[in-house]
Amino acid sequence: MTDSADSVAPEQRPRHIAVIMDGNGRWARQRALPRHFGHRAGVKSVRAVVRRCGELEIDYLTVFAFSSENWSRPREEVVGLMKLFLDALQREVAELHENNVRLRFVGDLSRLSTRLQTAMHEAESLTAGNTGLQLQVAVGYGGRWDILNGCRELARAAAQGDLNADDITETQFAEAMSLRGAPDVDLMIRTGGERRVSNFLLWHMAYAELHFSETLWPDYDAIELDEAVIAFSRCDRRFGRVEPVAHEEVG
């Protein structure tokens, strides 16, 4: 039994957690169920992690819901995932709003149905003034896509004479990408036993602590999240320096 992450001092907790929610399909296969049962079961884990991050006063949580590469999956699975996104939005957004969670969608949303895009926009508008956990859901997202988009935005600005290409800073580059306004990722969690970042937040995870769990996503819960936060609190984060840097000085 792990200690509770409540005992971790606030300044030793990650400010920004990113999660690759892996293992839904394998969870379903182990039970001789269609893959979409695993995706539906995974919604429970999203709810548990969001709630726990709120309790721990984590500032930002970014979850990888659907990658740019996932469009190549069988059409039936993609259609089922899109329906699941819409159903979950309609079911969960009111509670998120009541709990002061701000919801934001990042990625290439242009391939989504008009109905789903509208629901996402309405959810973002409803929660825009909330000041609690900032929940960022990556849909149709790829880290390389995000970096390329940032390059294009800055190139257009330079071509129009709005900035000098030689003067572009890391801060300006970060503000040209999807997570503009959010700090770099402190802790990346991947479930399902795989040990790779899968083209997720490549720029933003430059100095993230990486935590890999063998647990399939539908079985992931607040207890395992606490374990990851406690492990993070014990890390000496040097950022290339000799001495560890206090968490509150980084961001």
pLDDT tens column, 64-74: 999 999 999 98
**Cα–Cα distance measured from residue 150 to residue 147, given in angstroms and rounded to the nearest whole number:** 5
Domains with residue ranges and CATH for the chain: 13-142+186-235 (3.40.1180.10)
pLDDT tens column, 75-128: 889 999 999 999 999 999 999 999 999 999 999 999 999 999 999 999 999 999
Cα 99-101-104 angle, rounded to 5 deg: 155
Any idea which residues carry the catalytic annotation?
22, 70
Residue 239, both tokens: 């950022």
pTM for the predicted model, two decimal places: 0.92
Taking alpha carbons only, the member of 79, 139, 84 closest to residue 109 is 139
Instruction: State whether residue 209 is helix, strand or coil.
Output: strand
In DSSP terms, 210 is beta-bridged to: 188
